[in-house]
């Protein structure tokens, strides 16, 4: 089975641009997570979906970050407008519903905002 | 979630069995012990989890103290591919789904 797929693997954006990151969860998984990871802040939750419904968001990330699950096998994370402080690795994870703590991660998208 | 304490780093040699300790003195009765690991430039990877009984899978053996205040992740016959940062976290399966990692233990494996 394919694991979690994320595209692109690398993204460079100018300040103020809009970028869209994509994620395909493991087939059959009901839960999908978006995280941001930096050395300073560590792993931060951006959004959590269960069966396409938003269950939890990162609070502080509501302003410019919007995650959507268009269907059970595809999700996007839009950052609009980007700022240099958004430079980080964005990780998508999925889990089979009912045992959500076993999360399977994608390779991440490394975003650099100039 | 309750806090865990892990050593900053450990060193090992290929073929050795490695014991990674984790202290969780304030663990509550409904909290599970989860282990993830992460290598540079990759997402975290689930390793194992347990509640009270020792558990084993293809990756590792998890030994949980009888009072549940500590646990040890045992990696048999480590290889270079096992070099990673190992995170021990507590999860309440009725609580928030988000993972919160501490600094973890950086395991170095030499040939």
Q: Chain A contacts of B42, Cβ < 8 Å?
A: 105, 107-108
Q: With an 8 Å Cβ cutoff, are B101 and A100 in contact?
A: no
For B81, phi and psi rounded to 5 degrees? -70, -15
Mean pLDDT within B17-32: 94
Per-residue pLDDT tens for B42-58? 999 999 999 999 999 99
Nearest to B43 among A55, A56, A91 (CB): A91
DSSP string computed for chain B: ----B--SEEEEETT--EEEEEE-TT--TTEEEEEEEE-TTS--EEEEEESSS-EE-SS-EEEE-TTSSEEEEEESS--GGG-EEEEEEEEETTS-------S-EEEEEE-
Q: Kind and range of the H or E element at A42?
A: strand A42-50
The upper half-sphere exposure of residue B105, i.e. CA atoms within 13 Å in the direction of its Cβ, equals 25
DSSP structure class, residue A82: -
pLDDT at A1: 59
Q: With an 8 Å Cβ cutoff, are B97 and A91 in contact?
A: no
Whether the predicted pLDDT of B2 surpasses 60: no
How far apart, in whole angstroms, are the C-alpha atoms of residue B91 and residue B103? 17
Nearest to A43 among B32, B34, B100 (CB): B100
pLDDT cut 90: percent of chain A above it = 69
Confidence of residue A39 (pLDDT cuts 50, 70, 90): confident
pLDDT at A99: 59
Mean pLDDT within B54-67: 96
Residue of A nearest to B38 (CA): A105
Rg (CA), chain A: 13
Per-residue pLDDT tens for A92-113? 999 986 655 689 999 999 999 9
The answer to whether B56 touches B73, Cβ cutoff 8 Å, is no
Which is more confidently placed, B20 or A42? B20
pLDDT at A98: 64
């Amino acid at each position: 089975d394919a694991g979690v797929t994320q595209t692109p693997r690398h993204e460079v954006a100018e300040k103020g641009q809009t970028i869209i990151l994509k994620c395909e969860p493991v087939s059959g998984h009901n839960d999908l997570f978006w995280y941001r990871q930096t050395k300073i802040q560590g792993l931060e939750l951006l959004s959590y979906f269960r069966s396409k419904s938003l269950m939890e968001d990162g609070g502080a990330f509501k302003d410019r970050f919007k995650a959507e699950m268009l269907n059970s096998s595809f999700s996007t994370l839009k950052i609009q407008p980007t700022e240099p402080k958004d430079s980080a690795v964005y990780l998508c994870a999925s889990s089979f519903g009912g045992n959500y703590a076993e999360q399977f991660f994608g390779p991440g998208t490394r975003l650099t905002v100039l | 979630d309750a806090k865990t304490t892990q050593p900053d780093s450990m060193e090992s040699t290929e073929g050795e069995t490695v014991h990674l300790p984790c202290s969780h003195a304030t663990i509550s009765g409904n909290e599970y012990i989860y282990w993830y690991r992460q290598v540079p430039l990759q997402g975290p990877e689930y390793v194992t989890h347990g509640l009270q009984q020792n558990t084993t899978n293809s990756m590792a053996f998890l030994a949980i103290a009888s009072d549940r205040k500590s646990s040890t992740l045992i990696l048999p016959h480590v290889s270079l591919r096992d070099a990673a940062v190992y995170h021990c976290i507590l999860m309440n399966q009725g609580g928030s789904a988000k993972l919160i990692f501490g600094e973890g233990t950086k395991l170095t494996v030499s040939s």
